[in-house]
Amino acid sequence: MNIQRRKTRTCTVGNVKIGSDHPVAIQTMTMAKSEDAKAVIAEIKTIEDSACDIIRISIPTLDAAKNIPEIKASTEMPIVADIHFDPRLAIAALDYGADKIRINPGNFYDRSYLEKVIKLAKEKGAAIRIGVNAGSLEKDLWEKHGAPTADALAESALRWVDFVEALDFKNFVVSIKSERVQVMIAAYKKFVEADNDVPLHLGVTHAGSPIPGTVKNSMGIGALLMQGIGDTVRASITDSIEKEVEVCKNILKAIGLYDKEADVIACPTCGRLEVDLEKMLAEVEAALKPIKRPIRVAVMGCVVNAVGEAKESDYGIASGKKAGALFYKGELFKANVPEANLVNELLELIQEKEQIKL
């Protein structure tokens, strides 16, 4: 199934382009205080070789803004400055070289200052994210709708799009976030119905701890992406930035929008299991990390689904009692392989066929 993405214009963020002509970009946000440049840089290094494309840092003070050049120099990923309440910090962040600023117009009360921010971003060649959030909906929209409903959030976003575009600025994206998945999905869909080509940043705000946070983001982000809506994503969960990136990557991979690593599938195990499948799976996943192409590898534990799943994959193990079989491109490659040799022989087969050293 090929997803037909909604046609959107390109927003340039440093060396990354966001829009329907480009891959869906993955983002995360550092947790270290940006007044401590070394701590932020150390955190960024943990995802330097991951699937992350763009990194956001909080800028609550002028001292934090002053660290943007040092932080930028430490990574090739574009730096987004997260700004709230004080538009003067947005101006400082742009002056110090932020590739993009994230602003929430709902808590920027001086429109004349907001105009200055937008004009400066245009001068600097920087991007902007207009971040509409259920937690900071404008007072008049709250009074009109009675709550941060999907209609209210979409109306807010469209209002700010008109405001920004009236200043002849188009290098921006929009996010419309709620902690309620159904509201988030509906708000984005209502925004899209207004027939515009603004790129969209997807996410479920303050989604929670790892399991519920992963589920909420997978449902919200995944549902929209399946409909072709969304150009960049962040999974907001109460966990490390590495976990956020992994969640985003796996959402994209699950629906065919990420093709820079192997897709390893495995059965959930049951009482029929005759091999140490968890150990085998961990070994296969670790060994395949260097592969940057979308091969599909099945690591199956018993005969119930093993042969069928292995045959549907590029490579596969179909396990039995202390032994198993190797499959390649849907055909039996080798039978009666001892359990102790299954992983090694699978990896040797992959190396041979893919012409890669693992």
How far is CA 209 from each of CA 86, 97, 235, 238, rounded to the nearest angstrom?
29, 33, 11, 5
pLDDT at position 208 is 84
Token representation of residue 148: 């941060």
Query: In sequence order, what DSSP letters do the residues of 189-209 get, joined into one string?
Result: HHHHHT-----EEE--TT--S
How far is CA 279 from each of CA 129, 205, 224, 337, 339, rounded to the nearest angstrom?
43, 36, 35, 17, 11
Residues sharing a CB contact under 8 Å with residue 353, sequence separation 6 or more, in sequence order? 315, 328
For the segment 38-42, the average pLDDT, to the nearest whole number, is 98
Closest alpha carbon to 79 in 16, 161, 169 = 16
For the segment 88-116, the average pLDDT, to the nearest whole number, is 92
CA angle 188, 168, 105 (to 5 degrees): 45
Distance separating alpha carbons of residues 324 and 53, to the nearest angstrom = 40
pLDDT at position 2 is 85
Q: Parse the chain into domains and list their residue ranges.
A: 11-254, 263-354
- Please determine, for residue 112, whether its predicted confidence score (pLDDT) is greater than 90: no
For the segment 93-111, the average pLDDT, to the nearest whole number, is 91
pLDDT at position 322 is 80
**Helix, strand, coil: what percent of the chain each, to 5?**
40, 20, 40
- The CA-based diameter of the chain, rounded to the nearest angstrom, is 75
CATH architecture type of domain 11-254: Alpha-Beta Barrel (3.20)
- Contact present, 98 and 79 (Cβ < 8 Å): yes
Burial class of residue 188 (count of CB atoms within 10 Å of its CB; 0-12, 13-18, 19+): buried
Token representation of residue 138: 């404008």
292-333 tens-digit pLDDT: 999 999 998 876 666 677 678 999 998 888 888 899 998 889
Q: What's the chain's length in residues?
A: 358
263-354 adopts what CATH topology? Sulfite Reductase Hemoprotein; domain 1 (3.30.413)
pLDDT at position 330 is 84
pLDDT at position 106 is 80
- Contact present, 59 and 81 (Cβ < 8 Å): yes
Question: For residues 344 and 207, which has the higher predicted lDDT (pLDDT)?
Answer: 344
In this prediction the pTM is: 0.93
How far is CA 106 from each of CA 140, 141, 246, rounded to the nearest angstrom?
11, 10, 30
Cα 156 to its chain centre, rounded Å, is 24
Which residue is associated with the tokens 């988030």?
184
CA angle 294, 296, 302 (to 5 degrees): 165
Count Cβ atoms below 10 Å from residue 329 Cβ, excluding itself: 11
φ/ψ of residue 59, rounded to 5: -130, 80
How far is CA 67 from each of CA 55, 126, 240, 342, rounded to the nearest angstrom?
15, 17, 22, 51
Q: Which pLDDT band holds residue 133 (cuts at 50, 70, 90)?
A: very high
Distance separating alpha carbons of residues 106 and 62, to the nearest angstrom = 21
Q: Tell whether the torsion through CA atoms of 87, 163, 54 and 285 is positive or negative.
A: positive
Mean pLDDT across the chain: 94
Distance separating alpha carbons of residues 98 and 125, to the nearest angstrom = 10
